[in-house]
Amino acid sequence: MDLNNWLIFVQIVDMGGLSAASRRLGMPKSTLSRRLARLEDDLGARLLHRRGRAFELTDAGRLLYQEAQLLEKQVTHAEERLAMNTQSEGGTLRMTAPKAPGGQFLGIWLAEFIQLHPHIHIELDLSDQIINIFERGYDLALRVGPLTDSTLVARRLGKSERMLVAAPGYTEQHGQPTTPSELIQHRCIGFGEQRSGLSAWTLTRGKQTQRVNFNPALRINDMSTALCITQAAAGITMIPAFICRESLEDGTLQRILPQWFGPTAEFYLVYPERELMPKRVRLLINFLARQAKKENWRLSLAHERPE
């Protein structure tokens, strides 16, 4: 049964007939007549006794009118609440992001955001799994590209170079490779979900590309832990600049094969739609985009940290 016909029936009764209801609703009188007939067929009862242009409610019509008025009030109330939710700055916002960006820079930016907007509450879920934000009810997600879901709107925040690093203690003991092919002679720390077998790094220098296959001395699926292990002189790893920047600056890590880079990590905010999103979501998206532009040094070695 189409409940819209219930609401149309209320308008017909309130306006005193099909003609007046047609003008108010902006629908042809013939359409309203068909919708009324369909409603009567669905209910199996006559709702109106027509006498020329006037009408009189039947007992069934009077009962339906009372129930339909309640439905109309509920719909109006729901529309008002939804409009307030969309236009209001306050409320709860659910976001998901990978663990490493969440701990390295996203958390810093969110801390500033909630101070600027104390009426907005954020639920942040840190997970390296790609979560379906539609199914899980998230408002937006931070993703590291490349992106695969074309149904989502994506806004690029920035990029971070991946590079090879090791602790000075490691290179003092084992020396440094001078070419990518020499990496297989070193202890290499792999990153990823793969449980066994060879790992591989793809390195580029200008237009040159070289793939290096290696048997990792240690394989791990958490970048922050990989950073700690590398700082402990356990071996060489490939890691994004946003993870290791401070360690390079304070000397606890150093670049290996500094002319060679791994694939660039690109950061995106993804969300279901541009239009009709709650104001709090739009505020956060715009804030994070501004922060990424202003503090790009947190992501990339190509940008200097401000004094």
Give the SS3 label for residue 51. strand
Q: Cα separation of 119 and 303, whole Å?
A: 33
Residues, the chain, total?
307
pLDDT tens for residues 125-157? 998 888 888 888 899 999 987 777 677 888 999
Q: What are phi and psi of 50, to 5 degrees?
A: -90, 135
DSSP type of residue 105: I
For 273, the token pair is 């739609």
Q: Cα separation of 16 and 35, whole Å?
A: 16
Q: What are the Cα distances from residue 117, in Å, to 25, 59, 109, 111, 274?
A: 40, 55, 12, 10, 21
Name 219's Cβ contacts closer than 8 Å, sequence gap at least 6: 189, 190, 191, 192, 194, 195, 199
Q: Could you give the domains of the chain?
A: 4-87 (1.10.10.10), 91-158+269-298 (3.40.190.10), 160-264 (3.40.190.290)
Name 87's Cβ contacts closer than 8 Å, sequence gap at least 6: 279
Question: Scanning the structure block, which residue is given the tokens 């709650």?
Answer: 278
Ranges of residues in the chain with a pLDDT under 50 are none
- Helix (H) / strand (E) element for 265: namely strand 262-271
